[in-house]
Amino acid sequence: MPIRTLVALAIAGLLAGCATHFVNVPLPDGEGNPERRSIDVSDKSRPVIVVALSGGGSRAAALGWNVLKELRGVKYSKPGAERRLIDDVAVVSSVSGGSTIAAFYGLNGPDALDQFEPFLVKDNVKSLLAAAANPFAWIDHAIHGGSRTDFVVDMMNAELFHGRTMAELNQPGKPFVILNGTDMAGGEVFSFRPGMFDDICAKLDTLPVAIAAATSADVPIIFAPEAYRNYSETHCKGRPIPTWITNKLTQKTGPYINLPEYRRARYANDLRWGPDPFRKIQYLYLVDGGLADNLGIHSVLDTIESPHDPARMLMHINNGNINNLVVVVVNARSDPVESEYTSPDRPGIFSMIDSVTGVPINSTTASVNAQLDVLLAQLKAAAQIDRPDAPFKNLRVYGILVDFDQLRPSIPEQKKLRDRAKAIPTSWTISAEDRAVLKEAAEVLMHQHPCFQRLLLDLNVKAPYIDPVFAKGGCPQP
């Protein structure tokens, strides 16, 4: 290796001990982070669609992309206009790989979805390795207190976001796009939303989307956690603590009836340096959102059932402004057929690391998914209410989980499709063959889901794959 390269690497190594660079800036005095989006309930006969996109690198990005295109492909008639289901998407919550397509969709809209494809075609891993092989890039990052995660930020900026900021995601008329990370110290979900950035007294509008998306996809160990400063310690002094936080922390029975909400309030209070904190949080080190919840469902639950969520969906349901609630959860979980089950050799350390991280993630994800199932079932049951004073009476709820396990093994083509889809590795590069597998999987999974068919039936959409008996039996409605 040339001497110059060695010297450069040595300098990079020394400079790696320099101060950490925090990617966020404080809010100016007296300011908050505005929430400019709202759910359009001007026509209650239109469905309100909530989408959750899972982690899984480019596999998840491709599956999510194809599901969004499926929604774009469905047109239904309204008096005076024709609408697409994609136009009714009100909320997109995402983690990790799903955050790339979520953010792209939020910035560019449904008509630009096809422009996402080049990101999937490109060998992004090759680009990352090439960037990482440049010692001067390391020096540059080290001088500025950065880390190897900056290579992912640079890649996302170059391929997808081009320096655009979170302000562009947060505009009137746009869906709530919620990119989720994990607070690695406490294990909390950290969502890139105005409210959460108010909690840390940091400006969200100016944060580059590439940083938020890269944080959401920041696989620990391979990449370094992204560093955020909690400016509540030194700024935003004297601002009042929101009522819901104070109440949850002081109400006597709250922790016994709704412990998760108590913990959420405590976390928000800690971030705000509120009275009597559990922890003093000065710095946040955020990693892949998939660690806390690999489906992004926590934010979906919040938007639907939380009284203080800015989407105000619960209020709209209670006011009878939402007649059709559609929740689409896209799970791109990999689960190869070939594994340790067929190996006579004791698994090595890398397999064990994979298990120690993967198994708890899958377990937590399944648990949160079950919570969503329960919520949707309760809403459906509530809609059966026989009281004239209930505006949510006759609310229709369509829960559409897209999961490779729903491909039917009794049909040989679908069994093959399932096994191929589940074997696609988690990476920022995906082959043309695997992209084709995911395109087909998205189409089959959406078309044969009873609640998707039922939704189309109820919107009077004609499609050859709709089986009314199957749809009504598999997705009963009031």
Partner 1 sequence: MAIEFLVVKFPESRDVLADDSPVGKTNKTLLLPADEYEISLSGTGYTPASQDVILTGTSTQNPMVIAFSLATALTTGLTGAKAKTAKTRKAPKAKKAKPSTKKATTKKKAATKKKAATKKS
Where along the sequence are the contacts to partner 1 (CB under 8 A)?
Answer: 242-244, 247-248, 251-254, 257-258, 260-261, 305-308, 312, 314-315, 317-319, 371, 375, 378-379, 381-382, 384-387, 389-392
Q: CB of residue 396 vs partner 1: minimum separation in angstroms?
A: 15
Specify which residues 220 forms β-bridges with. Answer: 223
Judged by CB, which is closer to partner 1: 317, or 438? Answer: 317
Judged by CB, which is closer to partner 1: 315, or 461? Answer: 315
Q: CB of residue 21 vs partner 1: minimum separation in angstroms?
A: 37
Task: Please state whether beta strands 396-403 and 75-78 pair in parallel, antiparallel, or not at all (unpaired).
Answer: unpaired
Q: CB of residue 376 vs partner 1: minimum separation in angstroms?
A: 10
Judged by CB, which is closer to partner 1: 258, or 351? Answer: 258
Judged by CB, which is closer to partner 1: 287, or 325? Answer: 325
Judged by CB, which is closer to partner 1: 12, or 52? Answer: 52
Which amino acid appears at position 211 of this protein?
Answer: I
Q: CB of residue 186 vs partner 1: minimum separation in angstroms?
A: 20
Judged by CB, which is closer to partner 1: 107, or 376? Answer: 376
Q: CB of residue 195 vs partner 1: minimum separation in angstroms?
A: 12
What is the three-class DSSP state of 124? helix
Q: What distance in Å separates the CA atoms of residue 309 and residue 307, rounded to the nearest whole number?
A: 6
Exposure string of 120-145, with b = 16+ CB inside 10 Å and e = fewer, is bebebeebbeebeeebebbbebbeeb
Nearest residue to 64 (alpha-carbon basis) of 44, 93, 27: 93
What is the three-class DSSP state of 187? coil
Contacts of 129 (CB under 8 A, 6+ apart): none
Judged by CB, which is closer to partner 1: 13, or 307? Answer: 307
Report the chain's C-alpha Rg in angstroms: 23
Q: CB of residue 381 vs partner 1: minimum separation in angstroms?
A: 8
What is the three-class DSSP state of 332? coil
Q: CB of residue 249 vs partner 1: minimum separation in angstroms?
A: 11
**Kindly report the CA angle at 313 between 308 and 316, in degrees rounded to 5?**
115
Distance from CA of residue 98 to its chain's centroid? 6
Q: CB of residue 280 vs partner 1: minimum separation in angstroms?
A: 25
Q: CB of residue 47 vs partner 1: minimum separation in angstroms?
A: 19
Q: CB of residue 198 vs partner 1: minimum separation in angstroms?
A: 15
Judged by CB, which is closer to partner 1: 227, or 297? Answer: 297
40 CB neighbour count, 10 Å cutoff: 14
Task: Please state whether beta strands 324-331 and 396-403 pair in parallel, antiparallel, or not at all (unpaired).
Answer: parallel
Q: What distance in Å separates the CA atoms of residue 474 and residue 469, rounded to the nearest whole number?
A: 8
Q: CB of residue 374 vs partner 1: minimum separation in angstroms?
A: 8
Exposure string of 56-93, with b = 16+ CB inside 10 Å and e = fewer, is bbbbbbbbbbbbbbbbbebebeeeeeebebbbbbbbbb
Judged by CB, which is closer to partner 1: 11, or 314? Answer: 314
Burial class of residue 410, CB neighbours in 10 A (0-12, 13-18, 19+): exposed
Exposure string of 12-33, with b = 16+ CB inside 10 Å and e = fewer, is beebeeeeebbbbebbeeeeeb
